Amino acid sequence: MYLKSIEIQGFKSFANRILFEFHNGVTGIVGPNGSGKSNVADAMRWVLGEQSAKSLRGGSMQDVIFAGTEMRRPQGFAYVAITLDNTDHVLPIDFDEVTVSRRLYRSGESEYKINGSACRLKDINELFYDTGIGKEGYSIIGQGQIERILSGRPEERRELFDEAAGIVKFKRRKAEAQKKLDDEQQNLVRINDILAELEHRVGPLKIQAEKAKEYLELRDHLKKLDINLFLLETKSLREQLTESLDRAKIVQNDLDTVRRESEEKKGAHEQLTVLVEELDAAIREADEAAAAAELEIQTLTGKKGVLGEKINSEKAGAEHVNERLQAIAEDIARKEDQKKTAEEQIEEWMKRAEEAREKGEDSAGILTQTRREAAEKETEIGRIRDAIMASLEKKSGIAADIEKYRTQYEETDARRAELVGNQMRLESDMTAGNEEIDAKKAELARKDAAISSLRAESEKIRERIAQEEQAIASANDALSEAQRNYHIAQTRLESLRNLAERYEGYGNSIRRVMEQKSRIPGIKGVVADLISTDRRYETAIETALGGTIQNIVTDNEDTAKRLINFLKQNRAGRATFLPETSMKGRGEFPQKSALSEEGVLGLASDLVKTEQEFRGIMDYLLGRTVVADTIDHAIALNRKYHYALRIVTLEGELLNAGGSLTGGAFKNNSNLLGRKREIDELGEQKDRALEEVEKNQSEILRIEEKHMADQRLRSENNDAIQKALLDRSQVEMELQQAERRRDESRENADNLSAQIEQAKARMTELKAQRSQAEEDLERIENDNADMAERSSDLTDELEELRAKMAEAEEAQANVNLEVEGFRQKSGFARETKERLEQEIRGLLEETEELHERNNGREDRIREKEAEIRSIDLRIEEETGKRDAEKQKAEQTRARRAEEAAKSRAYFDEQEKLTERMNLLDRDLVRLDNQKEKLEEKIEGRAEYIRSEYELEYAGAEQFRDESLDSVPDMKKETADLRSRIKGLGQVSVNAIEEYKEVSERFEFMEKQHADLEASEAALRRIIDELDQGMKRQFTEKFQEIAREFNTVFRELFGGGSAALKLEEGVDVLEAGIGIISQPPGKKLQNMMQLSGGEKALTAIALLFAIQNLKPSPFCLLDEIEAALDDSNVDRFAGYLHKLTEHTQFIVITHRRGTMLGCDRLYGITMQEKGVSTMVSVSLIESDLEGGK
């Protein structure tokens, strides 16, 4: 097996996907410092399951994801995969190639995969057991592992030797077995608790089950009597019901006859009533028709008036149109005359404009000649001016050069003076720099002293924190115990309160009644809730009360009656009620002398506490019962008073008047009377436990506050140390900077001397250049004066031509204005003509529109006159209709009065029949009530049978016993049976089945207990066997490693000796491992006394020894030879090749000796800041040279 490749993407500085492919031999990964080559080793640890961000040189696990740079965005995940060749099937998996990968997202989600299938980290660890591969194995060795080997603490080397000895998987199996053992022990504790609880319940349940059996026998006999009594009473009630039904039929027949007669009268009355209503509707209809006709007459009359007004309006409009037509004709004639005048003006103005245009053509020729001569003069003047401007520009340039030479001369002179000043300052700075360097060296010594003091204080704080952590652990244990006691009390209290609220232990009827307490204020409560007594008397008082402990106290008999009806209606069973208004005490106890007898504790009524309003009821229930301490005293007392007393003992024995005794193994820790007391006690117990919890929490808080304060002190001290270290680094850096500044000042002073000489030479050169430029400037000024004189002469001649040209232009402008004036007048006359033509067309159109409007108006007048004639005819028609409807309404009113009289007569006859029906109805209701009472009695007895025995009448027939025919005897016997059942007290029929279930569960849990004990013993044997096997295997392998270590050490050091030593007096599986070495020419000594290079080479010798004995398929070495000198690096590289027969090596290095020993190289560099990339080695050779 060997490592084929590593694929990295988004991990630390590897932003892009990079694939490293490996072969047998030694592969080197090289690159300059800070290029990210050690991130390859971190990637290998990470993919193999490293969970510590600190071990990966980060603050949190998300820090391994590429965080981005100025040019790149952060990655969303980190991914690493390694691929191994498994053709020799060293790994226990049926694949020739195995790829293990790990991916982490910024959200915190992560995944592991083996050959693309999701898996657990545990699966990866088990895959590599005993191969040396793993985050804690010796296949990945970095400077951290070297430091742990070099550490002065022997136990830190332990993991390396456990992996090399092959006992890691056994240690993990032992840990798993130990965890299972701890779980089994916890299960045993729980089983023991359950067994104790079940054992506590079995005894009382057995007594309750026997009592329940007796109850069931009595109940079955009572059932037989109850059912036969029900059958006899139901038969008698049914006979009475049949007689009542026959009488009801006779009354019903009479009622039907009267009802038919009444219905006939009622039908006739209703028909007449309908007829009267129809006549009323006809009257209303006729009145409405007459009113509608009157309204229509009024509407038509109004419409006729409106039409007359419209005719008059149309006639007036026709006269107005004729007047307008006459005015339009006169206006058209006037505008035609104005149009003719405008046409004559247009012709006159156009003729005069043409004459003016011909006159202007002569002056235009003179103007053209003058303009040409003026243009020639202007061109020559412009040419002269351009020459002058060019000369002026040249003059300006020369003047600028003169100024530039002067300025540069002054600047160079100033620069020279500045350089001289700088030279003097640099000499002063060098003197001050030497003084600063001396001061920084002194400050550095003071910082070192302060750091030593802070580190001593940090050690004291660390010891205090350790003591506080131990105190917190102890306080937490006490808190856990207090919290456990609190939760036990709270759970039991809630359970009892739940039982009390649900009236658990009471009969169903009692629970149903107590559910009505909020709705029926007269319910005071059950006897058990209204009294209390000392715990000592609970058993005695509950025995004395017997079944009456579940009796319900009410305010009066009405409330009790209401509740009895409630139980009947809801088939909820029976209950006994104790109304306060009817329950009275039985007077004074007649045998007062008995209360002073030996062993007598008092009357039961005096030993209970209750509110004054219930004292009479409690006297009634308990005022005749004596409480004695023991049964012996009770028997002696009863014998002395001739068995006339009712006595109860503290243990629950009951001696009845007459001499009967009740007793036995009575045990009941959940009695109704004790429940209230236990709730109060548990409340107090819970409060005490809560106080203990709060006390421990306060103590923990106090210690934690002190602990936090010390941690803050430690943090502040660490910060102070860190700050002091930073300050020291700052001072050290400032010292280096001061030395650098002094050296720079010395170098700068030398440079300034050369710059001063250069400035002097430049000043001489600038002075010569300025003299030459001043001579050129004088020559240009003379040329410019000649050209200015010629330009002045030409300008005078140009002015004369411009004056002549202005006169010609003025004459031409006058002609143009005259022509334009004639043209404008002609245009105005043309616009007037067009406007008049448009107005004439508008008047002609209006004339046509007015003629059309007059023609339509005559037609409308004729139409409206015809409409008025039609309205007159309709008015006459509506008047006739109105008169006819009024006559019809009067006739209908007369008939309505006649029919209304008939309807009243039928109504009076119906009233008499209704009175007769009411009498018969009352008789029928009385018989119905009698029937309902009989049916209610029958149903009440049937309901009792249904609620008590879940039987209907047909089912009850199966229990008929013909020998039972005396109802009084049967009632007497049932009362006796109920009394005996009541004497049994509280009975739980479920106790029989519950006793069976609890017994079976008790036996099952005992078997489980035995199985757990056997399992515990087996696990202990497994742990012992693993311990023995690991000790034997570790001892053998340790001795082999020690011998091989000595051999490799001698080869790498060229002599000397080395040894491994187990810590004495400690279990071999937990013992630390010491390293003793003796390099050539030195004494045998502890490894911590060696030099840095000797320690590193010793650690490497140990790693090579382990590889020799148990080679890992591959081994990644991360700069472990960094501390070696060149000769030892060569030895290191040479020995690597000796191990390549069985192990493939990947070496991360920057040492040239190691690189030369590699079979192939990969280069890592940061061509882009913050991003590692893989390049050919040739591209980074220069970087490597610079990093040496």
Q: Which residues are annotated as a binding site?
A: 32-39
Name, in order, each residue with C-beta under 8 angstroms of 1164's C-beta and a sequence gap of 6 or more.
Answer: 29, 30, 31, 35, 36, 37, 40, 1172, 1173, 1174, 1175, 1180
CA-closest candidate to residue 713, choices 464, 472, 450: 464
Structure tokens given for 247: 């009488």
Query: Is there a contact between 37 and 1169 (Cβ–Cβ < 8 Å)?
Result: no
Please write down the long-range contacts of 297-300, taking CB distance under 8 Å and 24 or more positions apart.
297/875, 297/878, 297/879, 297/882, 300/871, 300/874, 300/875, 300/878
Cα 585 to Cα 168: distance, rounded to the nearest angstrom: 85
Query: Is there a contact between 269 and 910 (Cβ–Cβ < 8 Å)?
Result: yes
In the three-class reduction of DSSP (H, G, I as helix; E, B as strand; rest coil), residue 603 is classed as: strand
What are the beta bridge partners of residue 1074? 1061
In the three-class reduction of DSSP (H, G, I as helix; E, B as strand; rest coil), residue 20 is classed as: strand
Q: What is the DSSP string of 1140-1179?
A: TTT-EEEEEE--HHHHHT-SEEEEEEEEETTEEEEE-GGG
DSSP state of 64: G
Cα 651 to Cα 665: distance, rounded to the nearest angstrom: 9
Q: Which amino acid is at 1068?
A: V
Residues of the binding site for ATP: 32-39
659: phi then psi, degrees, rounded to nearest 5:
110, -10
Query: Looking at 436-509, which runs of residues are DSSP E strands?
Result: none
- Scored b (16 or more CB within 10 A) or e, 60-86 reads ebeebbbeeeeeeeebebbbbbbbbbb
Half-sphere exposure for 156 (CA within 13 Å, toward CB): 10
Cα 858 to Cα 311: distance, rounded to the nearest angstrom: 10
Cα 827 to Cα 345: distance, rounded to the nearest angstrom: 10
Cα 997 to Cα 1131: distance, rounded to the nearest angstrom: 80
Total H helices, total E strands in the chain:
19, 23
Cα 567 to Cα 133: distance, rounded to the nearest angstrom: 80
* Beta-strand relationship, 2-9 and 646-649: unpaired
Q: What is the DSSP string of 855-916?
A: HHHHHHHHHHHHHHHHHHHHHHHHHHHHHHHHHHHHHHHHHHHHHHHHHHHHHHHHHHHHHH
Q: What is the DSSP string of 902-953?
A: HHHHHHHHHHHHHHHHHHHHHHHHHHHHHHHHHHHHHHHHHHHHHHHH---H
Q: What is the largest CA-CA distance in the chain?
A: 181
- The crossing angle, in degrees rounded to 10, of helices 1092-1109 and 1126-1139 is 10
- Classify the phi-psi angles of 130: left when phi > 0, otherwise alpha if psi is within -120 to 50, otherwise beta: left
Measured over the CA atoms of residue 26, residue 29, residue 31 and residue 33, the dihedral's sign is negative
Q: Which run of H or of E encompasses 526? A: strand 523-526
Name, in order, each residue with C-beta under 8 angstroms of 449's C-beta and a sequence gap of 6 or more.
Answer: none
Distances (CA, A) of 985 to 212, 500, 537, 703, 951: 10, 19, 18, 58, 26
Cα 258 to Cα 912: distance, rounded to the nearest angstrom: 10
Query: Is there a contact between 623 and 615 (Cβ–Cβ < 8 Å)?
Result: no
- Classify the phi-psi angles of 571: left when phi > 0, otherwise alpha if psi is within -120 to 50, otherwise beta: left
